[in-house]
Structure 1
Amino acid sequence: MGAGSWGTAFAKVLAEAGTDVTIWARRPEVARALDAEHRNPFYLPGVPLPPVRGTDDHRVALDGADLVVLAVPSQSLRANLDLWKGDIGGDATLLSLAKGIETGTLLRMSQVIAEVTGAEPGRIAVLSGPNLAHEIVERQPAATVIACTDTERAGVAQRACATGYFRPYTNTDVIGCEIGGACKNVIALACGIASGMGLGDNTAASLITRGLAEVIRLGVALGAQPVTLAGLAGVGDLVATCTSPLSRNRSFGYALGAGGTMSAAQEATNGQVAEGVKSCTSVRALAAEHGVEMPLTDAVHKVCHEGLSVSEAVGSLLGRRIKPE
């Protein structure tokens, strides 16, 4: 459900794993290209897809589906689920690819899914890891984590997407996977800003490491297992998103660090969603609610939403009191 670059890439993985796939696209022209030509020229131009069906009618896509993959942006998930919930099968597994914290409610995506659909937690799974869409469609080796409290359902989803180049692991720590996925986008914005300012690898490594410390603090406060955030859904996703020019969040931050405006940064990501821009505000609020200190996240929020200059943000971080690691 969702035909952006990652949704389409994951549909390709599913189909190449032998799973029967229908893709719902919001735009009719995207659905037609997927269905008739097995390609998505709007988000993955030049990438041939295996035989998949495309539709802009959610009822057609959801009819008889055992596994419903939710691949829309985090801040639009609730509105879409409101439209879809009546057509989702009563025993279907709901697998979220969305990474973020909902603005206002401060809910994780699995919580939004449960609240809107009424599905019990054991039916809801989340997928997170170092999964850059453009590398995956080229069948470059990658691994991911599928987290679900029901290990049998996690195993079904795992088998549905396991290929020779895409290796899914299972986990029961839904909170850890979701917090890692939501927070890494914010840290990637910080790394992009630093790179755009001309700062080097020492800075990037420091931001990734201290960013990970923030992610772990928040995750543990919410009940996550630290070992999850030391794995693919934490460190793995963080490194890929913070260092790759394919990362929309890093690219957005780079444009800001190079002196661009928010609108120029949006153009730099070809109009696609940089989830961290909105998530930084909700992650910051969630951290405050639980008494967790997240200075990098706070700085990114102030740059994106309060007009703080990137040089002032760096100065405020370096000017913090010194203390033990």
Structure 2
Amino acid sequence: MSKVAVYGAGSWGSALAVLLTKAGHQVALIGRQSSEMALMNKLRENVRYLPGVVLPSGLTPTTDLAELNADLVILSVPSHCVREAARLMKPNLRAGGIVVNTSKGLEETSHYRLSEVLREELTDQSIAVLSGPSHAEEVGRDMPTTVVIASEVGIAEKVQDLIMTPKFRVYTNPDVIGVELGGALKNVIALCTGIAEGLGFGDNTKAALMTRGLAEIARLGVAMGGHPLTFAGLSGVGDLIVTCTSQHSRNRRAGVALGQGKPLDAVLKEVGMVVEGVRNTRVAYQLSQEKNISMPITQQAYKVLFEGVDPKIAVTDLMMRGKRHELEEVVEMSWLR
């Protein structure tokens, strides 16, 4: 048994806390609102974010940051809260401990990957990243799920040993850059497939967006130092598929509402939880401009979200771009190198 702290009591943090408790660890689920954590402790359920999933008796909902003095700390907050969370956590973390980040995004102001943010703030801890096709609603209900841990080999293997269960298979990958970018950028494409669905388009359209979207993700990811084959793995195509197609996907649901003509502010309020794809679209577009990387789907998503372009016009602009040979782009992405 190890002592584990999960910082962030949303849906994903709660699901991981349940999983790790069932795996035999002593788990503290740390939230910021004392009233919410007290209610969670009383009802043994996170009614707001993970309804219907019973919190095991060995799981302790709390606001006590002293619980962060643990063998393993899982950080599960929205991407724009990672830096603030790291600063709040730091005084209580165990020197030489491991912090695993689970949020999927990029910092808007710096364009840093989230592990870069954590390494800047938490100089005494080892940092790892958890990613892959893993909706909290299913993990909390013990549905078989497979993820990837990215870090230096020794750290990744330690985390793998601690969190792998018969229902939660964990692979390791040293390509932190590729794993993080795959997880962040797929949210942009999921928004777009949702918009297509909201416009009344069918499976052909969504399949095209997912396939060409993966090309964009890999193109930018390789340019930023990721390994091309990572984008064919769990944190690339795997996460892309589940986020673009699942009923649980906030990004897809938000896209559907946008395609139906609802304004962005109303859509975000309706979803009720953070839609990472909105922020990620802005950063991905800015990175593509800085690095001169062709990302036409991302560009049109940016125009729809932030410049008021009609989604139907964006689709037409995508369809009528200059002619290309598909294999030329495959070579550009370095898939075969």
Give the TM-score normalised by the residue count of structure 1.
0.95
* Distance in 2 separating the partners of 1:28 and 1:287: 42
Task: Give the secondary structure class of the aligned counterpart of 1:21.
Answer: strand
* Distance in 1 separating the partners of 2:41 and 2:158: 26
* 1:114-153 equivalent positions in 2, closer than 5 A: 114-119=119-124, 123-149=126-152, 151-153=153-155
* Distance in 1 separating the partners of 2:284 and 2:67: 32
* Distance in 2 separating the partners of 1:34 and 1:227: 41
**Equivalent residue for 2:323?**
322
1:34 and 1:53 in contact (8 A); partners too:
no
Deviation at 1:218, TM superposition (A): 0.9
**Equivalent residue for 2:3?**
none
**Equivalent residue for 2:298?**
297
User: Which residue identity lines up with residue 286 of structure 1 in the other structure?
Assistant: L
**Equivalent residue for 1:44?**
50
Deviation at 1:119, TM superposition (A): 4.1
* Distance in 2 separating the partners of 1:116 and 1:41: 32
Deviation at 1:213, TM superposition (A): 0.2
**Equivalent residue for 2:333?**
none
Equivalent residues, number: 319
* Distance in 1 separating the partners of 2:163 and 2:244: 25
1:192 and 1:251 in contact (8 A); partners too:
yes
* Distance in 2 separating the partners of 1:119 and 1:176: 24
* Distance in 1 separating the partners of 2:64 and 2:299: 40
* 1:1-325 equivalent positions in 2, closer than 5 A: 1-50=7-56, 51-58=58-65, 60-62=66-68, 64-119=69-124, 123-149=126-152, 151-269=153-271, 271-325=272-326
- Pick which of 2-11 and 31-40 moved more: 31-40
User: Which residue identity lines up with residue 250 of structure 1 in the other structure?
Assistant: R
User: Which residue identity lines up with residue 186 of structure 1 in the other structure?
Assistant: V
- CA deviations over 1:182-220 (Å, ceiling 9, x no partner): 001110000000011111111111000000000101111
Deviation at 1:302, TM superposition (A): 1.5
- By percentage of residues, which structure has more strand? 2
Task: Give the secondary structure class of the aligned counterpart of 1:180.
Answer: helix
Gaps of 5+ in 1: none
* Distance in 1 separating the partners of 2:123 and 2:324: 46
User: Which residue identity lines up with residue 81 of structure 2 in the other structure?
Assistant: S
* Distance in 1 separating the partners of 2:227 and 2:124: 24
Give the TM-score normalised by the residue count of structure 2.
0.92
* Distance in 1 separating the partners of 2:112 and 2:168: 29
- CA deviations over 1:139-198 (Å, ceiling 9, x no partner): 11110000111x222122112221221111111110111000000111000000001111
Gaps of 5+ in 2: 1-6, 327-337
